[in-house]
Amino acid sequence: MTKVSMMKTWSPETGSLDIATLGRLYRDGSLTPSAVVSACYDRIAARGDDHVWIHLAPRETVMAQAKALEAGGPTDDPLWGIPYSVKDCNDVPGMPTTNALPEMEYWPETTGQAINRLIESGALCLGKVNMDQFGIGLVGVRTPYGACSSVFGEDFISGGSSSGSGVSVAAGLVSFSVANDAAGSGRVPAAFNNIVGLKPTPGFISNSSVSGGGSLKSAETMTVFALTTADAVTVGRRMGGYDPSYEFSKPEADTVDLAIAPIPPKFRFGVPAGAALRFFGDGEAEKLFAAAVARLEAMGGTKVEVDFTPFEETQKLLYGGPFIAERAIAMDKVVAEHRDHIHPVTLSILETSSDHSAKDVFAAIHKVAALKRDTRATWADIDVLVVPTTPTIYTKAEILADPIRLNAQLGIYTNFVNLMGLCGMAVPNGFRPDGMPQGITFLAPSWQDAKVASYGAAYHAATGLTLGATDNPQPA
Catalytic residues: 87, 161, 185
Q: Which helix (H) or strand (E) holds 172?
A: none
> Could you give the count of Cα atoms lying within 13 Å of 66 in the half-sphere of its Cβ?
24
Cβ-count burial 280-292 (b if 16+ within 10 Å, e if not): eebeebbebbeeb
> Which amino acid, residue 155?
D
Phi, psi of 269 (to 5 degrees): -120, 135
Instruction: Yes or no: say if 165 and 177 are a contact pair by the CB < 8 Å rule.
Output: yes
Distance (Å, whole) CA 287 – CA 273: 16
- Beta-carbon neighbour count of residue 367 at 10 Å? 14
CA dist 236 to 219, 258, 280, 438, Å?
Answer: 18, 8, 33, 23
What value does the CA radius of gyration of the chain take, rounded to a whole number of Å? 21
Cβ-proximal residues to 202 (8 Å cutoff; 6+ apart), any chain: 219, 220, 221, 248, 250, 418, 421
Distance (Å, whole) CA 263 – CA 386: 15
Distance (Å, whole) CA 344 – CA 335: 11
